[in-house]
Amino acid sequence: MEKSFSFQTNLLHNKWKIDEQTGAVSVPIQHASTFHQANFDEFGKYDYSRSGNPTREALEETIAELEGGVRGFAFSSGMAAISTAFLLLSKGDHVLVTEDVYGGTYRMITEVLSRFGIEYTFVDMTDLHEVASHIRPNTKVIYVETPSNPLLKITDIHGIVKLAKANGCLTFLDNTFMTPVLQRPLDLGVDVVLHSATKFLAGHSDVLAGLAVVKDKELADRLYKLQNAFGAVLGVQDAWLVLRGLKTLHVRLEQSAQSALKIAKFLAKHPKVEAVYYPGLSDHPGHSIHRYQASGFGAVLSFHLADEEAVRTFVQHVKIPVFAVSLGAVESILSYPAKMSHAAMPKEEREKRGITDGLLRLSVGLEAAEDLIVDFSEALTYVKTSEAVS
């Protein structure tokens, strides 16, 4: 990648902008599962598509460049990327995990890794003392999401990396909410960056994909072996869709984040909204740490209404956003963490984390912010406040 260009330009003018063989301005989709070996003794660059495929490789090299890593890996979903990264652990190892981690990651750790003798502790990562106090001699990974899902809590990446390095642990960071447009964790010392590329990177609610990027060559070799051994690789059509989505990543995120800030400010002033969680609001407890480690606040926010009844009424009356699982798309997506992304988490654990029955998460898309605000404002007129309820 040309270092002299900005990130926005590099999204388009990279090594893959023109196919060397044909001059095509779109990466060719190579469907072959296997590759003829012209030489009996020496195999070519590609032999079998699980081990390597040129279309997948284009995506893997692109994300590695964007995140500033040495190597990228594309998987069949975000969970496939995350699960494969966890295979770096062995029986007897311990992992420290942010307490409001993505629901699927919570399920993977508590229901699957635990069966293989991998221990875990969930901690409030906004509190570095708390993190430090839970590091054990066998702690091998500190797993971070910042901003976290769905409460948009901010973890001090530098602080965690320092603790991890001092204790011989690796740091994994799920960068789905920020993308390398807004946050580049490898530059801050993180070892493995993970993505659900299903979300902002692909951006159109039409593909499932996951990515991992590492900065260290030896770690890259280990993760490559796991990717090939476990085999949850991304298909070529889907790799192409993610590459296509990446071309507009910067402009999509910029636009959606601008709208998210406007909507967060509107909700924060609304009498029927009890709390708004968005790192772009100056009274967000992680605002200044986030400003230090990222270059924008992203397009996801969440907010509290009085209770489940209020949420139900709001969702029934709101017209623009789709009501669905997922985020990071061209259309705004409203979701209900208690019954969607965090349904895998027991109610008691959920509520301990502040993911109550009154919480809604909004991923802001590319609609006019003014239209969304009018839509929300109208839907809120039907909602009762907690005082009115009691």
Ligand X SMILES: *Cc1c(COP(=O)(O)O)cnc(C)c1O
Total residues contacting ligand X by CB under 6 A comes to 15
Shortest approach of ligand X to residue 194 CB, angstroms?
7
Shortest approach of ligand X to residue 154 CB, angstroms?
14
**Which range, of 133-141, 193-201, 235-243, 357-365, touches ligand X by CB under 6 A?**
193-201
Peptide bond into 271 cis (omega under 30): no
Strands 170-174 and 94-98: unpaired
Cβ distance to ligand X smaller for residue 54 or 245: 245
Distance, in Å, from the CA atom of 218 to the CA atom of 231, rounded to the nearest integer, reads: 20
Q: Which of residues 126-185 bind ligand X (CB under 6 A)?
A: 145, 149, 174, 176
**φ, ψ for residue 322, nearest 5 deg:** -75, 150
Shortest approach of ligand X to residue 33 CB, angstroms?
23
Cβ distance to ligand X smaller for residue 148 or 313: 148
Our answer to whether residue 336 is catalytic in this structure is no
**Exactly one of 19, 50, 307, 375 is catalytic; which is it?**
50
Measured in whole angstroms, the distance separating CA 7 from the mean position of its chain's CA atoms is 19
What's the Cα-to-Cα distance from 196 to each of 46, 81, 170, 193, 270, rounded to whole Å?
Answer: 26, 8, 20, 11, 32
Distance, in Å, from the CA atom of 238 to the CA atom of 79, rounded to the nearest integer, reads: 15
What's the Cα-to-Cα distance from 203 to each of 15, 105, 160, rounded to whole Å?
Answer: 22, 21, 29
**Which range, of 77-85, 119-127, 153-161, 281-289, touches ligand X by CB under 6 A?**
77-85
Strands 139-145 and 94-98: parallel
Distance, in Å, from the CA atom of 113 to the CA atom of 336, rounded to the nearest integer, reads: 27
Cβ distance to ligand X smaller for residue 12 or 324: 324
Neighbours of 292 (CB within 10 A): 12
Our answer to whether residue 56 is catalytic in this structure is no
**Which residue's C-beta sits nearest to ligand X?**
78
Contact between 257 and 298 (Cβ < 8 Å): yes
Q: Which amino acid is at 355?
A: I
Our answer to whether residue 165 is catalytic in this structure is no
Strands 170-174 and 119-123: unpaired
**Exactly one of 93, 100, 156, 174 is catalytic; which is it?**
174
Shortest approach of ligand X to residue 175 CB, angstroms?
9
Our answer to whether residue 50 is catalytic in this structure is yes
Query: Using the rule CB under 6 A, is 86 a contact of ligand X?
Result: no
Cβ distance to ligand X smaller for residue 211 or 379: 211
SS3 label, residue 40: coil
Shortest approach of ligand X to residue 359 CB, angstroms?
15
Which residue matches tokens 């606040």? 297
Cβ distance to ligand X smaller for residue 79 or 236: 79
Q: Which amino acid is at 67?
A: E
Rounded-to-10 torsion of CA 354, 359, 100, 106: 120
Which position among 30, 196, 313, 363 is part of the footprint of ligand X (CB under 6 A)? Answer: 196
**Could you tell me how many residues make up the chain?**
390
Contact between 89 and 118 (Cβ < 8 Å): yes
Distance, in Å, from the CA atom of 139 to the CA atom of 118, rounded to the nearest integer, reads: 10
Which position among 16, 35, 73, 102 is part of the footprint of ligand X (CB under 6 A)? Answer: 102
Cβ distance to ligand X smaller for residue 182 or 327: 327
Which position among 54, 69, 78, 296 is part of the footprint of ligand X (CB under 6 A)? Answer: 78
Query: Using the rule CB under 6 A, is 342 a contact of ligand X?
Result: no
Shortest approach of ligand X to residue 163 CB, angstroms?
22
**Exactly one of 56, 100, 102, 252 is catalytic; which is it?**
102
**Which range, of 18-26, 45-53, 181-189, 192-200, touches ligand X by CB under 6 A?**
192-200
Query: Using the rule CB under 6 A, is 79 a contact of ligand X?
Result: yes
Cβ distance to ligand X smaller for residue 142 or 383: 142
SS3 label, residue 323: strand
Measured in whole angstroms, the distance separating CA 155 from the mean position of its chain's CA atoms is 14
Shortest approach of ligand X to residue 39 CB, angstroms?
39
Q: Which residue from 379, 344, 382, 337 is spatially nearest to 358, judged by alpha carbons?
A: 337
Query: Using the rule CB under 6 A, is 200 a contact of ligand X?
Result: no
Shortest approach of ligand X to residue 2 CB, angstroms?
30
What residues have CB less than 8 Å from 21, skipping those under 6 apart?
Answer: none
Query: Using the rule CB under 6 A, is 199 a contact of ligand X?
Result: yes
Catalytic residues: 50, 102, 174, 199
**Site residues (vs ligand X, CB under 6 A):** 77-79, 102, 104, 145, 149, 174, 176, 196, 198-199, 208, 210, 327
